[in-house]
Amino acid sequence: MVGWFSRTVVAVTLRMPRWFVRWVSRRYVAGATLDDAVTIMKRLSSEGACFTIDVLGEEISTLDEAQYFFDEYVRAIEAIQQHGLDANLSIKPTAFGLLVDEEAGMNNMRKLVKMAAEHEMFVRLDMEDHRVTSATIKAVVDLHSEGLTNVGTVLQGRLFRSLADIDALETEIGPHADYRICKGIYLEPEEISFTSYKDIVDATNACVDKMLEAGAYVGIASHDYPVIDHALEALESHNLGPGKEDTRNNAGPPRLNKGPGYEFQLLLGVRGPLRRKLLKQGHRTRVYIPYGEKWYEYSIRRLKENPTIGTQVAKAFMMPWTNRP
């Protein structure tokens, strides 16, 4: 019943005018400009949150388009420094040209990661659809081999391959591995991914366990209570939690501007009460801050690829007081 209702809300929203989509998306997207993102981060900083910035837009058709993303992320680094924000960067490899020219795309990412390292800032290579899973993981491994260890990747619990990818990364970069683990927004083919909610949650939880056991830094990116509850139990079993040092025998080195071994990550505007609850308990919480000129395309894609967002849209419309960002 909930699934039907959510899909109906999404179908209706997709047919609404652009201004309505903007109204819906304003709680999930900081705005069209970097200034909009800075304003949101300043406000949420007062609650103790930290951030990761994402310039909206992804796959490009020419390398000239990649320059826009590079330049915008340089501006983001400067703004983070200028305003003293506790923030790092999330970039999409295809936006930097990975599918247009792999070598040029890699060079673009390398330059940005080097610049971020000079400012003691972390860069997350976002995981996109299955076409670039291997290439994205390889990029992280290659950058680590060059001494650029301020970079990590995202793994999607729904993919069959993710547990094997954790094993491979443990072999390649060991305790320097730094993950964001999420269920995954892309609706991948059933030949390569789990498709039922329970299977996806179970697979995501298995990845959390394996990452913690490997001594890696784990960004637990979920709004699902079965994942959050499992993660809290797993953290306790590894003696990780608020006010505790990371005492895992195989733990990686301390991460700059990060917590002891883990953090929770949530999207802007989604389950703000949950984020504040985790923060009040003493857990480090990071808010994903998307902004940019492509806000409309991003909003439409998220609605199409994750129809369950419909319930959040309806709740924001009918009961906005129940879930402030």
Which amino acid belongs to residue 43?
A: R
Q: What is the mean pLDDT of the chain?
A: 88
Model confidence at 272, in pLDDT bands (50, 70, 90)? Answer: confident
Same domain for 250 and 323: no
- Residue 298 predicted with pLDDT over 50: yes
E-strand ranges in 162-240 read: 178-182, 217-221
The C-alpha atoms of residue 56 and residue 131 are separated, in whole angstroms, by: 19
Q: Are residues 64 and 169 in the same domain?
A: yes
Are 11 and 89 part of one and the same domain? no
Residue 130 neighbours by CB under 8 Å, 6+ apart: 159, 186, 188, 189, 192, 193
- pLDDT higher at 4 or 28: 28
- 74 and 183, same domain (yes or no): yes
C-alpha neighbours within 13 Å on the C-beta side of residue 149: 14
Which residue(s) pair with 180 in the sheet? 154, 219
Same domain, yes or no, for 317 and 261? no
> Tokens 């673009």 sit at which residue?
108
Q: Which amino acid is at 149?
A: T
Angle at 162 between CA 158 and CA 163, to 5 degrees: 120
Q: In terms of domains, do 18 and 93 share one?
A: no
DSSP letter, residue 140: H
Would the pLDDT of 1 be above 50? Answer: no
In what helix (H) or strand (E) does residue 152 lie, and over which residues does it extend? strand 151-156
Residue 262: CB atoms within 10 Å? 24
Coil, strand or helix at 60: coil
**Structural domains counted in the chain:** 2
Whether residues 122 and 135 fall in one domain: yes
Pair (257, 166) in one structural domain = yes
pLDDT at 202: 98
Q: How far apart are CA 260 and CA 31, in angstroms?
A: 32
Identify the weakest region by mean pLDDT among 41-45, 182-186, 280-284.
182-186
CA atoms 87, 201, 153, 176: torsion sign: positive
For residue 297, tell me if it sits in a domain.
Answer: no
Q: pTM of the prediction?
A: 0.88
Output the CA torsion sign for 196, 223, 230, 254.
positive
Q: Which domain holds residue 315?
A: 1-27+307-325
**pLDDT above 90: residue 17:** no
Residues 94, 3: one domain?
no
Are 104 and 13 part of one and the same domain? no
Residues 73 and 132 in one domain: yes
Whose CA is closest to 51, among 81, 89, 91, 79?
89
Span 267-277, mean pLDDT? Answer: 89
Amino acid 2: pLDDT: 46
